[in-house]
A and B are shown apart, each in its own frame.
Chain A
Amino acid sequence: MISTNIGMWVGAIFTILVWTFLYKDNDLYVFAEYTYVGVSVGYGFAVAVKNIIDMGITPITSGETLLIIPLILGFLLYTNFVPKYRWVSRWPMAVLVGLGVGLAMRGAIKSDFIDQIRGTLIPLVSNEGPLQSFNNILIVVTVVTILYYFVYTVEPNPNSGLGIVSKNIRTLARALMMVGFGAAYGNVMMYRFTIFLGRVQYILYDLLGL
């Protein structure tokens, strides 16, 4: 059954307006694009104001006076628009950067570094069968060769035996990276198709009731 919801029709019409760009750049597409930008900015502004009221002003008026400090630091960011006082905005920026880096480091060292190294400490001959063994070997070989590829400090003489081995390892690493890039490209295609399909389903199933 065809939907009678006006909002759904508006959504479908804007989807088609955006798709017209695939033919060529045109005013209908530009209209859809500008409308999206306007709505997004308006919505974002309203949510930001609500956030400042809920998380900043309301608690301060309830007695949590210490929250004035981050609120003032936040306002100082706007001095960036006044050339004479632009230097003031570096203080809140310094706090933001310091806080962000510190917090990111806390989780990143274990998550992105230690656990990843631990993830390569796997049995080369697995009890789960030959396929798993192959996977484990592939992981270890890929990690080691690609790490070696990015070691720039030591380069053996290319004519020596060590140099030839080094060159072959780098060639293998490059090939493995290409496989990785190919997989990433395939993933991007899947991502794009999913978005396209989502819109097709929206029009066919939700709007037209097919």
Chain B
Amino acid sequence: MSLAEKILRLDRRVIFVIIFIVGVYFAINPIGFPVITQPWVNDFYSEIEALQPGDIVLVHWSVQATSAEQVAGAVPTMQHLYRQEGIKMIHFSLGIQVDLLDQLIDEGNPAAHGKTYGEDWIQLGYIAGGETACAAIGSDIKGNFQNDWYGTPLNNLKLWNEISGSMKDIKLIVSLSSFDPGSDAVRRQLQVPYETPMILVGGAGGLTANMQWYNTKQYLGMLLGMTDNSAYEILINMPGIAARSTDVLSMLYVVAIVFIVIGNMAYLMSPQRRLRLR
């Protein structure tokens, strides 16, 4: 058996072990690679910085446990929003795991920023229906809800009585989305018809798909995956887990590239390919 054939028949578990070792090693011993800030991350930051006291932000969540890592930018985004003085937030979810997103909201530590539930933010919770639900929110947010997610009548909450229910009240939509129905439904039913500015927190896997919406200004800023998130953490001056992750991700990409190159070279040299070419 030639070397090329041996490489092509390499037990995939060897690759898993190498990836695991590299991941763990660099997670414990970061090198400190520089972080590149993409223009869409700067735009994301600027949109939140531009908020004024009294502005209302509609926060959409499509996050579940299996893909929570995809929206690694959730907690820093919450922290950045809490830092903006006097802004109000209305949260809703198109996914059922509201407890998880409540946890992410709390990790941003609203109390430390003087934010109070009912006055500064409201949790509407899970709304079934995806695109239809988004359309209902757009047409009349007040008419479609009576209680918040915890069962409190919304009329008892100060913030609820301050809004008219029109999308004109909403200064910014922040969409945190890692599955469908997600940001696409919000974009089509809330951003496009009402021309409300919208920014996206998503996964690195969504870069190629979402770039078209960023280019056409449907998303005014994006925070996609851990690499963007690490740049964002530095922008808001709150370096956290993501800032430590850049090294690990970079090294994991290097490992993947090395395996791809070696695998392709082995394939090019392998007798099977020569036979196929004949």
The answer on a CB contact under 8 Å between A43 and B187 is: no
The answer on a CB contact under 8 Å between B252 and A51 is: no
Query: Is the interface on chain B under 10, 10 to 19, 20 to 34, or 35 or more residues?
Result: 35 or more
Not counting A55-B128, A118-B216, A187-B207, a sample of 9 additional A-B residue pairs whose C-beta atoms are within 8 angstroms of each other reads A47-B126, A51-B126, A107-B189, A111-B191, A116-B212, A119-B212, A190-B227, A191-B70, A204-B27
* Chain B CB within 10 A, most for which of A22, A62, A183, A205: A22
The answer on a CB contact under 8 Å between A194 and B188 is: no
Interface string of A75-111 (1 = CB under 8 A from B): 0000000000000000000000001100110111011
- Known contacts A47-B96, A205-B241; decide if A190 and B225 are in contact (CB<8 Å): yes
Q: Does A198 contact B (CB under 8 A)?
A: yes
The answer on a CB contact under 8 Å between A119 and B215 is: yes
- Known contacts A47-B98, A51-B128, A58-B147; decide if A104 and B249 are in contact (CB<8 Å): no
Q: Does B97 contact A (CB under 8 A)?
A: yes
The answer on a CB contact under 8 Å between A200 and B23 is: yes
Q: Does B132 contact A (CB under 8 A)?
A: yes
Q: Which residues of A contact B19 (CB under 8 A)?
A: 196
- Known contacts A103-B135, A187-B206; decide if A193 and B253 are in contact (CB<8 Å): yes
The answer on a CB contact under 8 Å between A201 and B146 is: no
The answer on a CB contact under 8 Å between B147 and A54 is: yes
Closest to B16 in A: A22
The answer on a CB contact under 8 Å between A204 and B28 is: yes
**B245 touches which of A58, A62, A197 (Cβ 8 Å):** A197
Q: Give the residues from 33 to 61 in chain A that come closer than 8 angstroms, CB to CB, to chain B.
A: 43-44, 47-48, 51, 54-55, 58-59
Q: Does B271 contact A (CB under 8 A)?
A: no
Q: How many residues of A contact B (CB 8 A)?
A: 47
Q: Does B218 contact A (CB under 8 A)?
A: yes
Interface pairs (29), CB distance under 8 Å:
A22-B13, A47-B98, A48-B96, A51-B127, A58-B146, A62-B146, A99-B132, A103-B132, A107-B131, A107-B188, A110-B192, A111-B218, A116-B216, A187-B208, A189-B253, A189-B256, A193-B249, A194-B69, A194-B70, A194-B205, A194-B249, A195-B67, A197-B69, A197-B245, A197-B252, A198-B68, A199-B69, A200-B248, A210-B28
Our count of residue pairs bridging A and B at CB distance below 8 angstroms stands at: 128
Closest to A180 in B: B208
Give the interface SS of chain A, mostly helix, strand, loop or mixed: helix
B264 → chain A closest CB, angstroms: 12
Give the interface SS of chain B, mostly helix, strand, loop or mixed: helix
- Known contacts A62-B146, A115-B218; decide if A194 and B225 are in contact (CB<8 Å): yes
Expressed in whole angstroms, the Cα–Cα distance for A64 and B267 within the complex equals: 67
The answer on a CB contact under 8 Å between A197 and B147 is: no
Q: Give the residues from 127 to 152 in chain B that come closer than 8 angstroms, CB to CB, to chain A.
A: 127-128, 131-132, 135, 146-147, 151
